[in-house]
Structure 1
C-alpha cells in the first residue's frame, strides 16, 4: 500500500486482497499449491483493478479523462471475463478429468454466474457510453453489485485449487501451463500492460509475480512498445509497469 492516509486511498481496498498460499505453504511441494498461489496473485490483480475503478469513478470529469477511464474499465472487464471463460471451458474440465471427479469444480463455475450479469453490464457500459453521458454513480453501483460475490469467489477458488493436492502433480501443471500459454495470446497492447500495472511487487513483503521469461527484456518492451497504444488508460493503474505502487491519480476518499 502506498499510504495509510485514508484521504488518499489505494487499490488494496475497499475490497480486501487475498493472502497467498505461499505465506504458509511451500509452492514447490505440489502443482496444486503452485497453481493456487499463482491464481491468488492473479485474483489480487483483479481486485486492485476493481478497487481502482471504484475509487476513481467519481473523480474523472474531463472528456479525455473519461474516455480513457471507460477504456480502462473495458480492458479490465474484458480480461476478467476471458479468464473465467477459459476456466469454465478448458482449465476446470481438464482438472476434473485428472481428478476423475466430474463437476468437482462446478461450485466455482456456479459462482461465476452470480456476478457475471453485473460484470456484463459493466462491460456494456464501458463500451457504449460516450464521455458526455458518463455517470460515475452508475459505475459505482455496478461495482457495488458485482464486488461482494466476486470477492467471495476469488477467495473460495483458491481453497478449491489447493484441494487438488492429492492428484497427479505433473498432469495438473501441464494443464495449467497450457492454459497460461493460451491466455498469453490476448491483445498484447491491452492485457500485458494492464496486468503488470495491477501487480504489486511489494505485496506480502515482496514477490516477483508474474515470472516473465527474460523479464529484463520483456518488461521494457511492454512498457515502451505495447503500452503506448492505450497509454491514457494506464494512468488509472495502481502500480507502474515494474509493479511499484503509486498514488491513484483520481482518488481522494473512499
Structure 2
C-alpha cells in the first residue's frame, strides 16, 4: 500500500468521527485566492506553505510557529498561504489554519486529503478561503459534488492533477477556476517539473494554473515562467529557509 493509499484510509476513519463546528470560527469574510494570484506583486503568484513535516522529508523545521511564519509570508508578498492540516502524516492541525486566518489578510488554502462532504463543511467552519481537491483520490462524480459544495459555501477550489488521465477526469466533471499541477508523484513522492510542461497545453485558457512541488531555485522558476503558469505553490523551500525573504528573492533574483 502506497503512502497515499494509507493517507486515504486514515481519512475515511477520521471523517467518521469528525466533529464539525456549528458555525464559522472566524468572523473575517472570505478572501479570493484567484484575485490575489492575478494581482501578485511578483512575476508569479506565490502560495507559500505552512508545513511542519512530510512523509518524504520528515520534520522540516524544529522551530514551528505557524502564525509567525504566515505573517512573514504576508510581509514578503505571498499571494496566499497554504496550511497543512493533516495530523498523522504532516504533523498539521486545523487550529493552525484558524489561528492564521485570524491574524493575516491573505487568502488561506486548506491543504488536506478531502474525500467527504463533512470535510468540506469543516473546512469552511475553521476559516478556509479555498480548499484542495486531489483528483487522484476522487471519482469524477465525487469531485463534482465536493467542488460544488465548496463553492456554495463561499470557498474557492484548487483542483490538483498529476497526469493526463486525472486532468481529463477533472475537465469532464467540473470547470475549475484554479488547477494545480503537482510535480510530485503522490505514490512515490518523487518530483519532476516536466510534469507541468507536459500538461500545460491541455489546461483551459480561463483557468489559473498553479505549479506545485519541486520548486527550489531561480532555474526552476524560469522554467515555469516559460511554461506560462500563473502561480507557484512552494512549501519545503520556504520551511527549510531561515530567511524566507532571501529565499523568495533568490527565486526571482529581485530585491523585492
Larger radius of gyration, structure 1 or 2? 1
Q: Which of structures 1 and 2 has the larger relative contact order (alpha carbons within 8 angstroms, sep 6+)?
A: 1
Q: TM-score, normalised to structure 1's length?
A: 0.28
Where is the helix percentage greater, Structure 1 or Structure 2?
Answer: 1
TM-score normalized with structure 2 length: 0.28
